Amino acid sequence: MRRLVSETRLHPADLVLPVFVREGVSAPVPITSMPGVVQHSLESLPDAVGAAAAAGLGGVMLFGVPEVRDARGSGATDPDGILNVATRVAVEASAGRLVVQTDLCLDEFTDHGHCGVLDDRGRVDNDATLERYRAMALEQSRAGSELLGLSGMMDGQVAAVRDALDDAGFSDTAILAYSAKYASAYYGPFRDAVESTLEGDRRSYQLDPGNRREGLREAMIDIDEGADVVMVKPAGSYLDVLADVAAASEVPVWAYQVSGEYSMIEAAAAHGWIDRKRAVIESMRGIRRAGADAVLTYWAAELAEWIRNGDTE
Ligand code: PBG
C-alpha cells in the first residue's frame, strides 16, 4: 500500500554522476575528503562511463583537473586540454547510452582559482569572462559534449554561450544553467577534488545563502536567455529555492547534491553514527520531493543499484 501511494519515486535515469578526470596520471587517485570518489585517469574513464551507462544513469558530468594552470585558463580552450580530451573519450565509451555533459567554468584551469578572468585590480571581470566561456563552449561542443554545465555564475553567460553555439552551427548543444548557485561552504571537498588554488571566496558572483527570492529570479533570467535546464545548488540546504524554481519553471529543474553533502553523510556513517544507506536514500528523496526532475550526485551509481534491487521502495 505504501508503495502504491508513494508520491516520490527514484529512477536511475534521473541521476547524473559527476566524474573527475586528472591529467598526467595512469591510475585513479582517491580523493581523501570524498571517500569512495576518485580522480579518474584517461585510462580508467571509459570503464567508469560504461558502468554508469550499464547502471542506467541519465548522464555523466565531467570535470577536468589539469597539470598546468594560468591566469586565462588556457587549458579550457585547448582542444588537447584534459577536459576536452576526456570528453572525446567519454563520448566514445558512452556510445549514445547516456548524456555526456561538461563543466563550463574556468576555475579548474586558472592559477588564481576564480571562475573567470581578473581585471587590473584583481577582481573577476564578468564580460571578459563571457568571451572565454564562448570559446570554451565551442571546444566542448567540438569534443562532443551534449550538455554544457554553465557553473561560473557570470551575468549573461547563458545568452553569450547560446549565441556562440548557434553562430557556429551547434544548435543541438544544450545548456544546463547553474542558475541558483550559492556561495557555499559545502563545495569544500570538491575544491580538494579539483586541487583548487582559490584564495578568498566567490561571494562577488555566487548567491548569498540568505536570499531565496534572488535564486528564483536568477533561474527566470536564465530561462529567458535560453537555458534548456536550470539548476539549484547545493541541494539539501536550498530545498525552498528548489521548490520555488520547480513551481515556476517551464524547463526541467535539476539539483546538485554537492561534495560537502556527500562527505558529511560518509563521515558520519564511517563513525557508525548514521545509517548510511537510509540517509543517502532519504537525502535523495527529499531533493526529488522538493521538485528536482534530476539530480547530480556522487552516489548516482550506487543509488541506481539500490533502486534496481527495490531497496528504495
Ligand atoms: C565550478 C564548480 C564547483 C562545483 C561544481 N562546479 C565549485 C565551486 O563553485 O567552487 C562544486 C561541486 C561540488 O561541491 O560537488 N566549476
pLDDT of amino acid 282: 98
Domain annotation covers residue 123:
yes
Cα-based angle 81, 298, 130 (whole degrees, multiple of 5): 40
Q: Give the residue, by CA position, lying nearest to ligand 1 atom 6.
A: 151
Side-chain-facing half-sphere of 164: CA atoms under 13 Å: 21
Domain annotation covers residue 23:
yes
Helices (H), 148-297: 157-167, 188-193, 213-225, 239-248, 259-270, 276-290
Q: Which long-range CB contacts under 8 A does 126-131 form with residues at least 24 apart?
A: 126/154, 126/155, 126/156, 126/205, 127/156, 129/154, 129/157, 130/154, 130/156, 130/157, 130/160
What's the 6 CA to ligand 1 centre distance in angstroms? 33
Percent of the chain exceeding pLDDT 90 equals 96
Domain annotation covers residue 60:
yes
Query: How far apart are the C-alpha atoms of 31 and 29, rounded to whole Å?
Result: 7
Domain annotation covers residue 135:
yes
Domain boundaries, position 188: 12-308
pLDDT of amino acid 199: 85
Domain annotation covers residue 3:
no
pTM exceeds 0.85, yes or no: yes
Percent of the chain exceeding pLDDT 70 equals 100
The DSSP bridge pattern shows strands 29-30 and 99-104 to be unpaired
Residues in the chain, pLDDT under 70: none
CATH classification of the domain holding 138: 3.20.20.70
* 277: annotated active-site residue: no
pLDDT of amino acid 53: 98
Domain annotation covers residue 114:
yes
Strand ranges in the chain using DSSP code E only, listed in sequence order = 15-22, 29-30, 38-40, 59-65, 99-104, 147-150, 174-181, 229-233, 253-256, 294-296
Query: How far apart are the C-alpha atoms of 288 and 235, rounded to whole Å?
Result: 10
Does ligand 1 lie within 6 Å of residue 105's CB atom?
A: yes
- Report the number of distinct structural domains present in the chain: 1
Q: Give the residue, by CA position, lying nearest to ligand 1 atom 16.
A: 105
Domain annotation covers residue 2:
no
Domain annotation covers residue 272:
yes
